[in-house]
Amino acid sequence: MAKIAVYPGSFDPITNGHIDVIKRASKVFDHLIVAVLVNDSKKSLFSLEERLDILKHGIDNLDNVSFDSFSGLLVDYCKEKQLSAIVRGLRAISDFEYELQMAQMNRQLYDKTETVFFTTSEKYSYLSSSLVKEVAKFGGKIDGLVPDYAIMKMKEKLSRGE
């Protein structure tokens, strides 16, 4: 049976830290689904379609990676897709407490999917989508933090005042 995992997130936008986790997880699992969470209560810079577009342009040459979206509980998505694992990235100890609680709740709700943690590479340990958006909003340099395509899309969006 194939080991299929999901790497969920808002990816607004995807960062090079996310890409690092995706590349490493793709080596561990037979197939990895990068799934964008649709959360109407959260104000996103990019629409779902734009986030998926940026993901597809940011991740290339990984034949065992696909892209999807979901809303609601992650465990319901895992049940529907019969996934064996949830991939989560950890940047710092502060991430661990929250992620551990989520992993335990997910296991309580659906014990057929395990959470697997990947620590980010040191060079991306400070990086978050929120931080990238803040720096970009004020005209700061975000080269090397997100894929070039994401930079282009952010510049377009911010120049229109969105």
Active-site pick, 26, 44, 84, 129: 129
Going by C-alpha positions, the residue among 84, 80, 78, 115 that lies closest to residue 100 is 115
DSSP labels, 20-43: HHHHHHHHHSSEEEEEEE--TTS-
Separation CA 101–CA 161 (nearest Å): 37
Active-site pick, 10, 18, 26, 84: 18
Query: What are the residues whose beta carbons fall under 8 Å from the beta carbon of 145, sequence distance 6 or more?
Result: 15, 16, 127, 132, 135
Q: Is 57 a catalytic site residue? A: no
Active-site pick, 91, 121, 128, 157: 91
Q: Is 107 a catalytic site residue? A: no
Secondary structure (3-state) at 101: helix
Q: Is 18 a catalytic site residue? A: yes
Active-site pick, 27, 41, 42, 159: 42
Separation CA 69–CA 10 (nearest Å): 10
Q: Is 129 a catalytic site residue? A: yes
Q: Are 28 and 61 in contact (CB under 8 A)?
A: no
Active site residues: 18, 42, 91, 129
